[in-house]
Amino acid sequence: MIKIYPSAPGIDLHLQIVFIYKNQYMNDQSRSSILQVSGLNVSYGTFRAVQDVSFEVKSGEIFGLLGPNGAGKTSTLSAVEGLLKPESGMITVAGNDIRERPLHARANMGVQLQATSFQPELTLTEIIKLYAGVYGVKLTSGKLQEILEEIKLGESATKKFGQLSGGQQQRVSLVIATIHNPTLVLMDEPTTGLDPQSRRQLWERIEAMREKGHGILLTTHSMEEAEAVCDRIAIIDHGRVIAINNPQALIDLHRNDPNVISVSRKGKITLEDVFIGLTGRTVRA
């Protein structure tokens, strides 16, 4: 029997049913491929922003997508999110083709952006209740308090979102992105501008999601972050994936590359050295 809970005004009940059914997929999967991107091509007029990009994200995996500015990361993410139509290629989320079953694919996604845009005058309680209603998630007072305690904001239930620090806002943003228990979580540079303590705390929450079986696609410009939390990474440049492996394997594979050695600053080869050695020293606009 499927129970539909009261939702925010205007929310299609069919969408709530889709969210309920996707939980069965997550319960049945173990280290399966949650996101598959195959032969993806994205163009803007005559400019090819993404060229034959392929990769997958498995359940219980943090997958990093790294690249210089303009390399094709945002276009790739936008295609996965269903925000733009690719020229060609296939994207499936939890077995659902993003073009043929867009509602089912999106029901399995949670998205956290670099910058949040929640209404600053709303309290944390109001924001969380609002989005729980949007996703058709039943949220008792006890469960709401449990969520706030988990993100170290138990005493801030009536605090307005605009009064929170950057780190606190990102914690709330991650709660909203995952409140419907998505199989795939997309995170676009989530720790940009955070202090070290806030960044570490967000890392711990991301790792906790991995332990629960979520697949996480993370973009970041921080090589330290990619090396610390990602199980595998793909480096993309000029629209093409030029390397995929776990961080240490990439370091071991390229430690004797003359281009990598030439950019090493302290003799010990790091992931940042490999990244710059493969993508070049030129600063991108």
Residue 70 lies in a domain: yes
Q: Mean pLDDT of all residues in the chain?
A: 87
Mutual angle of helices 166-178 and 124-134, in 10-degree steps: 20
What pLDDT, on a 0 to 100 scale, did the predictor assign at position 5? 40
Q: What is the pLDDT of residue 265?
A: 86
Is pLDDT of 3 > 70?
no
Domain hosting 232: range is: 13-117+166-174+182-245
Cβ-in-10-Å burial (0-12, 13-18, 19+) of 27 comes to: exposed
Token pair, residue 167, equals: 């780190």
pLDDT tens, 232-253? 999 999 999 999 999 999 999 9
pLDDT category, 10, cuts 50, 70, 90?
A: very low
Residue 227: pLDDT over 60: yes
Task: Name the residue among 197, 146, 153, 199 with its Cα closest to residue 172.
Answer: 153
Report the candidate in 190, 254, 184 with the shortest Cα–Cα distance to residue 221.
190
Is the pLDDT higher at 98 or at 195? 98
Separation between Cα atoms, residue 205 and residue 209, nearest integer Å: 6
Dig out the tokens for 193 from the structure. Answer: 């501008």
d(CA 116, CA 171): 11
The C-alpha atoms of residue 111 and residue 133 are separated, in whole angstroms, by: 17
Q: Say if residue 17's pLDDT is above 60.
A: no
The proportion of the chain whose per-residue pLDDT surpasses 90, expressed as a percent, equals 64
Average pLDDT over residues 81-90: 93
Would you place residue 11 in the very low, low, confident or very high pLDDT band (cuts 50, 70, 90)?
very low
The answer to whether residue 272 is domain-embedded is: no
**pLDDT tens for each residue of 192-204:** 888 888 889 889 9
* 32 located within any domain: yes
Share of the chain above pLDDT 70, in %: 88
**Tokens coding 7:** 């939702």
144 located within any domain: no
Q: Is 132 left (phi over 0), alpha (psi -120 to 50) or beta?
A: alpha
Tens of pLDDT, residue by residue over 140-192, are 999 999 999 988 898 988 999 999 988 888 889 989 999 999 999 999 888 88
- pLDDT score at 158: 92
The total of other beta-carbon atoms located within 10 Å of residue 73's CB is 23
* CATH assignment at residue 229: 3.40.50.300
Given a cut of 70, is residue 24 above it in pLDDT? no
Q: Which of 114, 138, 144 has its CA nearest to residue 126?
A: 144
How large is the average pLDDT for residues 94-113?
92
Number of folded domains that form the chain: 1
The answer as to whether 125 is a domain residue is no
Query: For residue 64, what are its two tokens?
Result: 């990093």
Gap between the Cα atoms of 52 and 42, Å rounded: 9
**Digit-coded pLDDT (tens) for 27-61:** 444 468 999 999 999 999 999 999 999 999 999 99
Task: Please check whether residue 132 lies inside any domain of the structure.
Answer: no
Q: Which residue has the higher pLDDT, 171 or 11?
A: 171
Pick left, alpha or beta for residue 171 (phi over 0 → left; psi -120 to 50 → alpha; otherwise beta): alpha
Residue 35: inside a domain, yes or no?
Answer: yes
**Residue 152 falls inside a structural domain:** no
